[in-house]
């Protein structure tokens, strides 16, 4: 354990995660906002899709078991969304979030509409020549490339659902989200009843939500009618249209407090309580979503969590507190899902404007995690990982006297892990260089107490860098491109 001559910083002195009778759905509905921003959608997209899908299920009189599986499939339908972000950005030469958002408003199975969309959005800040070259790249990828994009996303999402110990029917709904009733969807071209019912409902619900939010209810119902028997199961469209007359329901879908509306639709005899193990699964799952967004962030959250826990142990935190700090490390960068891969994967240092966008991600983390009452302290710590003792950090510019030790040690863990990994604009740094850089920032940026604990932990712990896994991930992406 560390003994130090520095003034001891204050600690929160409480658990960062407070659990009691907390429903799993409360946490999942809040965390689904992270998936919304990755898809370029307004916060609440998955929650509103959930309301629409559950209303369809009500019209169909599905049993509670199926409705519960559908409920979680709708909230978590985009769990694999980050896994194809880098390739989407590369294909279009544009902001992956905007491409993902706008793709949901077109019929991409129609060649003319798809070409028009692509021409408008590829290399949208480039010259005509750049646009032509980018279109050539996309043409080379062809149908196979499009199918692979969806397959990567859907398989990844289903795998993470299974990590969460949710029903297999939930995983299959996520896996087959983009299949179409006429067999022209992705990734497997399943047709009609070959597509699991819950996936058919989710496909319809998410499209209706996008058109509802973008154009209004009339257009949302019209797109369902227009694609009846093509994208969508006719029986499901009929159930949706029956609900279309219920103005009270559609008003509830568009209320700002979408989480309280979602709460009303979870089957009461299927409620799941979030115990310690469930929280661990959620934190691990969303860390994987975050780290899949870019090959340069691959396994970063996992590494930060491990280092932060090690520092906490050296500083004498209890086992429960160490556990919570590990969770904060896993979730600290969840807001980075709202940053474009144009910036994350850029082979050069960010411009001033790009750095402004990067500096928003701790705020996004705070907004997402802060929705969860039981994460009140965790959200504060996780969102403070870029704060500095001199108050020149971000996103708040919080100074030393208001930074608890938990936040300070997480910042040290984040810097240490990042310096030992590759970046698009530099190679990984050797341990002696990392120590030199961090030592220069002690007292002004980084906490000396936490840094001393880091050194003590490193002296007795063998920690491999993630460089090899980064390179493997880059190789995988290159092989697909």
| Cis amide prior to 224 (ω within 30 degrees) | no
Select from 2, 421, 51, 423 the least CA-distant residue to 220: 51
**Are 245 and 175 members of one domain?**
yes
**Are 469 and 375 members of one domain?**
yes
What is the residue-averaged pLDDT of the chain?
Answer: 91
Name the residue with tokens 């009500």: 58
**Are 434 and 357 members of one domain?**
yes
**Are 253 and 355 members of one domain?**
no
Q: Flag whether 439 is in a domain.
A: yes
Please indicate whether residue 336 is annotated as part of the active site.
Answer: yes
Give 3-state DSSP helix, strand, coil % of the chain, rounded to 5: 65, 0, 35
**Are 430 and 362 members of one domain?**
yes
**Are 266 and 189 members of one domain?**
yes
* Total domain count, the chain: 2
Residue 297 DSSP code:
G
Distance CA 411, CA 437 (A): 14
Band the pLDDT of 5: cuts 50, 70, 90: very low
**Are 350 and 257 members of one domain?**
no
Residue that is last in its domain, among 221, 254, 270:
270
Cα angle vertex 158, ends 234, 344, to 5°?
Answer: 110
What pTM did the predictor assign?
Answer: 0.91
Q: Flag whether 133 is in a domain.
A: no
Q: Flag whether 165 is in a domain.
A: yes
Q: Flag whether 7 is in a domain.
A: no
Q: Flag whether 248 is in a domain.
A: yes
Band the pLDDT of 160: cuts 50, 70, 90: very high
**Are 199 and 344 members of one domain?**
no
Q: Flag whether 13 is in a domain.
A: no
Lowest-confidence segment of 100-109, 141-150, 288-297, 461-470 by average pLDDT: 141-150
SS3 of residue 442 by DSSP: strand
Q: Flag whether 76 is in a domain.
A: yes
CATH number of the structural domain spanning residue 232: 1.10.3210.10
Element (H, E) at 68: helix 64-75
Determine contact, residues 252/261, Cβ cutoff 8 Å: yes
Residue that is last in its domain, among 235, 255, 270:
270
pLDDT of res. 480: 66
Residue range 389-430, pLDDT digits in tens: 999 999 999 999 999 999 999 999 999 999 999 888 888 899
Q: Flag whether 287 is in a domain.
A: yes
Instruction: Find the catalytic residue in 336, 346, 422, 460.
Output: 336
**Are 200 and 315 members of one domain?**
no
Full residue range of the structural domain in which residue 304 is found:
276-480
Residue that is last in its domain, among 270, 300, 330:
270
Tokens found for residue 466: 């993630």
Determine contact, residues 253/50, Cβ cutoff 8 Å: no
Residue 438 DSSP code:
H
Residue range 282-291, pLDDT digits in tens: 999 999 999 9
| Cis amide prior to 395 (ω within 30 degrees) | yes
Lowest-confidence segment of 20-24, 448-452, 466-470 by average pLDDT: 466-470
pLDDT of res. 457: 96
**Are 159 and 305 members of one domain?**
no
Determine contact, residues 187/178, Cβ cutoff 8 Å: yes
Name the residue with tokens 């077109």: 106
């Amino acid at each position: 354990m560390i003994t130090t001559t520095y003034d001891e910083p204050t600690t929160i002195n409480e658990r960062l995660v407070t659990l009691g009778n907390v429903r799993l759905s409360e946490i999942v509905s809040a965390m689904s906002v992270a998936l919304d921003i990755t898809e370029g959608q307004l916060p609440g997209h998955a929650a509103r899709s959930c309301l629409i899908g559950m209303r369809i299920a009500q019209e169909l009189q599905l049993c509670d078991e199926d409705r519960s599986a559908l409920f979680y499939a709708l909230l978590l339908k985009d769990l694999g969304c980050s896994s194809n972000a880098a390739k989407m950005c590369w294909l279009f030469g544009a902001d992956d979030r905007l491409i993902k958002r706008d793709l949901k408003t077109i019929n991409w199975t129609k060649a003319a509409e798809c070409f028009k969309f692509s021409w408008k959005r590829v290399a949208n800040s480039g010259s005509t020549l750049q646009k032509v070259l980018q279109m050539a790249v996309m043409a080379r990828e062809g149908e196979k490339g499009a199918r692979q994009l969806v397959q990567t996303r859907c398989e990844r999402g289903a795998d993470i659902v299974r990590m969460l110990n949710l029903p297999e029917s939930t995983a299959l709904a996520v896996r087959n989200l983009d299949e179409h009733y006429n067999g022209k969807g992705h990734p497997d071209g399943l047709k009609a009843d070959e597509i699991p019912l819950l996936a058919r409902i989710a496909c319809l619900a998410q499209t209706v939500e996008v058109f509802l939010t973008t154009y209004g209810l009339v257009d949302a119902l019209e797109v369902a009618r227009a694609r009846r028997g093509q994208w969508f199961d006719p029986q499901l469209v009929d159930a949706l249209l029956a609900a279309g007359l219920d103005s009270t329901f559609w008003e509830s879908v568009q209320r700002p407090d979408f989480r309280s509306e979602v709460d009303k639709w979870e089957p009461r005899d299927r409620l799941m309580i979030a115990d310690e193990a469930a929280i661990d699964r959620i934190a691990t799952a969303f860390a994987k979503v975050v780290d899949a967004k870019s090959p340069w962030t691959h396994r970063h959250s996992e590494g930060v969590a491990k280092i932060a826990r090690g520092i906490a142990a050296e500083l004498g935190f209890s086992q429960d507190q160490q556990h919570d700090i590990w969770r904060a490390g896993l979730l600290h960068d969840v807001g980075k899902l709202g940053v474009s891969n144009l910036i994350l994967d850029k082979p050069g240092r960010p411009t001033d404007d790009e750095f402004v966008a990067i500096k928003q991600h701790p705020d996004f983390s705070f907004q997402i995690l802060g929705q969860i009452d039981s994460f009140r302290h965790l959200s504060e710590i996780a969102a403070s990982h870029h704060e500095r003792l001199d108050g020149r950090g971000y996103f708040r510019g919080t100074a030393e006297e208001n930074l608890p030790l938990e936040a300070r040690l997480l910042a040290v863990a984040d810097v240490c892990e990042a310096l030992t990994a590759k970046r698009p604009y530099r190679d990984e740094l050797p341990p002696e260089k990392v120590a030199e850089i961090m030592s220069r920032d002690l007292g002004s940026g980084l906490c000396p107490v936490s840094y001393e604990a880091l050194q003590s932990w490193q002296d007795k712990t063998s920690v491999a860098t993630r460089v090899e896994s980064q390179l493997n991930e880059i190789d995988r992406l290159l092989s697909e491109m």
